[in-house]
Structure 1
Amino acid sequence: MAHPDPMPSAVAARRHAAGMYYAVLLSAEERPLALVERWPRGTWRLYLFDDRSWRMQMIDLKPHGTGMLLAHRSIRWQFSGEREHSSGTWDVQETTTVSADGQVEVRSESGGPRGASAEPPHAGTSGPFPAPVEDFLCPVPEFGDWQVFVPLLAQQGHEPATTVVLNDVSVDEGSGPLRATEIEQLFSPGECDSLEGPAVVEPVDAGLLRITSGRLVISDPGWIDEDPRAVAVPPGEFPVTLSLVRTARQTGVAAARVTFLDVPPREWEMVLRPDEDLGLLREGQFYGVGVDTGTAAFLDATGTVPEDRLDEDVFMALDSESVFSVELPGTESEPNVIAFRAGRGDGDYPVWIGRTDDGQVGCVVVDFLLRSADGGE
């Protein structure tokens, strides 16, 4: 009943519209009745609770040819006591499956889940036998239309009232997605605080990046996917700068920047793919570039990194403690690639566009979250 990080209904509604996961708890008088999970591809799962607040049944629903949802699988459990319930050691598990045309099959097992009992489980099956498929259908809910699931609560002995009133519990919306705060300070030389204590920021030149297609890609050079994180920029050659953070123990790349216009940005925006929605993000969350090789890179959208050059020319070269970036040159007419260490290594990192007063792309920055301008994470 007390989830440590509940989701605001506005965020859940946007996830619903996007076909993404979320869950809804239906309760009455501080007692859980059902947990409704929305899954992709129009499928749903319900967990039903009894009067002891024990989770006793699971129902899987999928789209049916009638336009409704079919409860195609239901699993009930019986437990001998509270200790068995908390450990998931059931005495009996009954699984009912229903086909799209109403053929029902029931399988009953006793003896607990595999490995939970020294005794071998016993199983029996009945069916298939025909049944009206309408008995297993329910409407597809719009967001907030949870009363469509109320009739299913009767399967755990709950008796719905004549009138069902649903009240949405208020949840703090939080401060929203991660915001770019004083990104310019990541490249200001001098003393700073870092996650490892006192540090010194040192901006270093990483070379000129050649853009020919008008699209800058930010990616792990070992995993350039078909839909990379990209930004529309002018063609040409542009300086790349790394922000090194030196502590008493080590030196890391805190951020990397490509500068297109030598003008201070007026505002910052997160680099998004077309299918990404800031409204789905919660406090401090972000969409970012994924790193699996400890390395990130700037490159033209038409640029490639030959697999046979990755180990020797990128990964082995960056393995040296004194080397933080490498360039894979192209010809005079072809784009190059500038790769660099990615902060603390593998993970996801936000990418920001710095726009000028007239909305042009002044720079693009990937922040590896080693520090912030105020010393925070």
Structure 2
Amino acid sequence: MIAPSETWLKTWNEKRNLLACPNNLNDYFEETEVAGKEIDHLELGSVSIPTGEILVRDPLVYIRKDAEPYIIKVPTGEFPVTAAVVVPDDEDCARYAAVKVQFTAYDAVRFEEALIGTEDLVDFNEGEFFGFNVDAGLGCVLDSETLKHFCAFQDKFHSENPGKNLYDDYFAVLFAANYAENPIYQREAGDWINWKIPETDYHIPFFQSGFGDGTYPVYYGFDAAGNVCSLIIQFIDIELAYGEES
């Protein structure tokens, strides 16, 4: 984990109020309706966080050894992961609006974007975000340690299966099997798995990214004492996407 420069930290502290989430993300996980859309909640199992250095990535495109974690560390252990789902209707399929990792028993009173410490904050303005990139329609939560094991698995797979595709020739079967076991809020090909990295006890949940490919913000939830209590990936701004125009 590379420490941010003093100049970057100074700018970050000056602009932290601009990194606040414009939505109350608690509503996504506590209410049954947001902006006129029915919301339900889907438990995705647990995520392994052995070091507290957390990352969010597209698991099929951006798993690289040099991927940097967010600068604020989180508690270590196994933590529950929940998706806030926009319930399907006659017009659309189920959409995962947000995914939350809950670290403590405390509720978040504010949400602030998670950063890795190299973002260009100088010209950053209110209403903008940095986020992470999705090019394969999926996101995942992992840790610096589980990233190493994922990369090792990825390298071994490609060395032992030349010309094979990691999704088509490995993960697709797992997604289809999970759909068969847990069909609610999934398409037949599968929309989530809780993957146990082979030859380890570490779990990494994979999940669909709301509206597909794009760039999505990740927020820390801070409790009343100022401690990190959760991490939320926002795939859909429900109020913006579905709310009535003023």
TM-score between both structures, scaled by the size of structure 1: 0.48
Does the C-alpha gap of structure 1 residues 373 and 201 become closer, same or farther in structure 2, counting only changes over 3 Å? farther
When Rg is computed on C-alpha atoms for both structures, the one with the higher figure is 1
Contact kept? 1:244, 1:255, Cα under 8 Å = yes
CA drift at 1:228? 3.5
Equivalent residues of 1:219, 1:229 under 8 A apart: no
What is aligned with 2:63? 224
Q: Residue in 2 aligned with 1:287?
A: 130
Letter in 1 for 2:95: G
Partner of 2:51: 213
Q: CA deviation at 1:191?
A: 2.6
1:17-96 → structure 2 map (5 Å cutoff) = none
| Mapped partners of 1:374, 1:292: distance in 2 | 21
SS at match of 1:234: coil
Could you list the per-position Cα deviations for residues 226-263 of structure 1 after superposition, in whole angstroms to 9, with x for gaps in the alignment?
23443511221100000110242211100001000121
- Whether 1:263 and 2:101 are equivalent positions in the alignment is no
Within 1, Cα distance between the matches of 2:193 and 2:203? 11
Residues 204-353 of structure 1 mapped to structure 2, 5 A cutoff = 204-222=42-60, 223-225=62-64, 226-230=66-70, 231-248=72-89, 249-303=92-146, 304=150, 306-307=153-154, 308=157, 309-315=166-172, 317=175, 321=187, 323-330=190-197, 334-353=201-220
Q: In structure 2, how many angstroms separate the alpha carbons of the residues matched to 1:176 and 1:301?
A: 27
For 1:179, the aligned partner's letter is C
Higher RCO, 1 vs 2 (CA within 8 Å, ≥6 residues apart)? 2
Query: Which string of whole-angstrom CA distances, capped at 9 and with x for unpartnered residues, describes residues 117-136 of structure 1?
Result: xxxxxxxxxxxxxxxxxxxx
> RMSD across aligned C-alpha pairs, in angstroms?
3.0
Tell me, yes or no, if the aligned pair for 2:58 and 2:135 is still in contact at 8 Å: yes
Aligned length: 201
Q: Secondary structure at the match of 1:274?
A: coil
The 2-side partners of 1:191 and 1:324 are apart by 22
Gaps of 5+ in 1: 1-16, 19-174
Q: Report the Cα distance in structure 2 between the residues aligned to 1:340 and 1:183, rounded to whole angstroms.
A: 18
The aligned runs of 1:152-163 (5 Å cut-off) are: none
Deviations 1:31-79 (A, max 9, x none): xxxxxxxxxxxxxxxxxxxxxxxxxxxxxxxxxxxxxxxxxxxxxxxxx
Deviation at 1:279, TM superposition (A): 4.1
* Residues 202 and 245 in structure 1, CA contact (< 8 A), matched pair in contact too: yes
Residue 290 of structure 1: how far off its partner (Å): 0.7
AA paired with 2:84?
A: S
Q: Measure the CA separation in 1 of the matches of 2:51 and 2:127.
A: 33
Aligned position for 2:28: 186
- Give secondary structure in 1 for the equivalent of 2:239: coil
**Higher percent of residues as strand:** 1
Q: Is the 8 A contact 2:53 2:69 kept in 1?
A: no
Q: Which has the higher helix share?
A: 2
Alpha-carbon offset, residue 289 of structure 1: 1.0
For 2:195 and 2:235, the matched residues in 1 are separated by 22
* Separation in 2, partners of 1:332, 1:239: 22
Counterpart contact for 1:206–1:241, Cα < 8 Å: yes
Cα distance in 2, alignment partners of residues 290 and 212 from structure 1: 24
Deviation at 1:337, TM superposition (A): 1.0
Superposed, 1:77-156 pairs within 5 Å as none
Deviation at 1:283, TM superposition (A): 4.0
Please state whether the residue corresponding to 1:241 is helix, strand or coil: strand
| Structure 1 residue 329 displacement after superposition | 0.7
Q: CA deviation at 1:265?
A: 1.1
Contact 2:34 2:239 in 1 (8 A): no
| Equivalent residue letter for 1:350 | P
The answer (yes or no) to whether the contact 1:212–1:235 under 8 Å persists in 2 is yes
Instruction: Determine the C-alpha separation between the residues in 1 that align with 2:117 and 2:18.
Output: 20
